Amino acid sequence: MAKYSLKRLGMALLTLLVVASLTFLLMNSIPGSPWLSEKSPSQATIDALNEKYGMDKPVIVQLGKYLENLVKGDMGVSLKMQKNRPVVDIIKEMFPVSASIGFFAVLWATLVGVTLGCLAAYNRGKWIDSLLRVICTIGISMPTFVIASLLLTTFAGSNEALRFFPTIFNASLGIKAYILPCLALGLYPMCYTARQSRSSMLDALGQDYIKTARAKGLRNPVIIFKHALRNALIPVITYLGPEIAFAFCGGFVVETVFSVPGLGRYFIQSILNRDYPVIMGTTIFLAAFIIIMNFFVDLLYKAVDPRISYSEGGK
Partner 1 sequence: MSERIKRARFGSMQPDIENLLELTAEDFAPATDEQKEGFTVDRESTSYWKDAWRRLKQNKVAIVALGVIFLYIIFAFIGPMLVPYGYDEFNKGAENLYPWHYSIEDKAILDSVSGDDDARLAAALEAAETEKGSALSSIEIAKIKATIKSTKLDIGEFKKENGIHLQPFGYSTGELKRIEAGEKVFPHVFGTDKYGRDIMVRLMIGTRVSMLIGICAALLVLLIGATYGSISGFAGGRVDSIMMRVVELIYSMPEVLVVLLLSTALKPALLAFQNSGDGPMQNLVGLMGPNLISLFVAFGLLYWVTMARIIRGQILQLKEQEFVTAAKALGASSGRIIRRHLLPNCVGQIVVTTCLQIPEAIFLESFLSFLGVGVSAPMTSLGSMAADALKGVQTYGYRLVIPAVILSVMILSLNLFGDGLRDALDPRLKK
Q: How far apart are CA 44 and CA 39, in angstroms?
A: 14
Site string for partner 1, 10-49 (x = CB under 8 A): -xx-xx--xx--xx--xx-xxxx-----------------
Residue number with CB closer to partner 1 (33 or 220)? 33
Amino acid sitting at position 255: E
Of 269, 270, 263, residue with least CA distance to 247: 263
Residue number with CB closer to partner 1 (91 or 290)? 290
Find out whether 244 and 290 touch, Cβ atoms under 8 Å: yes
Q: Which of 87, 91, 236, 279 binds partner 1 (CB under 8 A)?
A: 279
Residue number with CB closer to partner 1 (213 or 293)? 293
Find out whether 257 and 148 touch, Cβ atoms under 8 Å: yes
Q: How far apart are CA 111 and CA 60, in angstroms?
A: 47
Q: Least CB distance from residue 301 to partner 1, whole Å?
A: 14
Q: Least CB distance from residue 67 to partner 1, whole Å?
A: 17
By the rule CB under 8 A, 286 interacts with partner 1:
yes
Q: Which stretch binds partner 1 (CB under 8 A): 44-52, 99-107, 124-132, 270-278?
A: 270-278
By the rule CB under 8 A, 257 interacts with partner 1:
yes
Residue number with CB closer to partner 1 (213 or 286)? 286
Amino acid sitting at position 257: V
Q: In the range 137-176, which residues lie near partner 1 by CB under 8 A? A: 137-138, 140-146, 149-150, 152-153, 157-158
By the rule CB under 8 A, 82 interacts with partner 1:
no
Find out whether 23 and 63 touch, Cβ atoms under 8 Å: no
Find out whether 101 and 254 touch, Cβ atoms under 8 Å: yes
By the rule CB under 8 A, 294 interacts with partner 1:
yes
Helices within the chain (DSSP H only): 2-28, 43-52, 59-72, 87-122, 127-139, 144-155, 175-205, 208-215, 220-222, 229-257, 263-273, 276-304
DSSP per-residue codes, 26-45: HHHTSSS-TT-SSS---HHH
By the rule CB under 8 A, 130 interacts with partner 1:
no
The H or E element spanning position 226 is none
Q: Least CB distance from residue 221 to partner 1, whole Å?
A: 25
Q: Least CB distance from residue 249 to partner 1, whole Å?
A: 4
How big is the CA angle at 108 (ends 103 and 113), to the nearest 5 degrees? 130
Q: Least CB distance from residue 287 to partner 1, whole Å?
A: 5
Q: Which of 87, 256, 262, 263 binds partner 1 (CB under 8 A)?
A: 256
Q: Least CB distance from residue 44 to partner 1, whole Å?
A: 25
Orientation of helix 127-139 relative to helix 175-205, angle to 10°: 120
Q: How far apart are CA 37 and CA 211, in angstroms?
A: 73
Neighbouring-strand partners of residue 86: 77
By the rule CB under 8 A, 55 interacts with partner 1:
no
Residue number with CB closer to partner 1 (191 or 228)? 191
Find out whether 157 and 80 touch, Cβ atoms under 8 Å: no
CA distance from start to end of the chain: 19
Residue number with CB closer to partner 1 (146 or 173)? 146
> Residues in the site for partner 1, rule: CB under 8 A?
11-12, 14-15, 18-19, 22-23, 26-27, 29-32, 137-138, 140-146, 149-150, 152-153, 157-158, 199, 245, 249, 252-253, 256-257, 267-268, 271-272, 274, 279, 283, 286-287, 290-291, 294, 312, 315
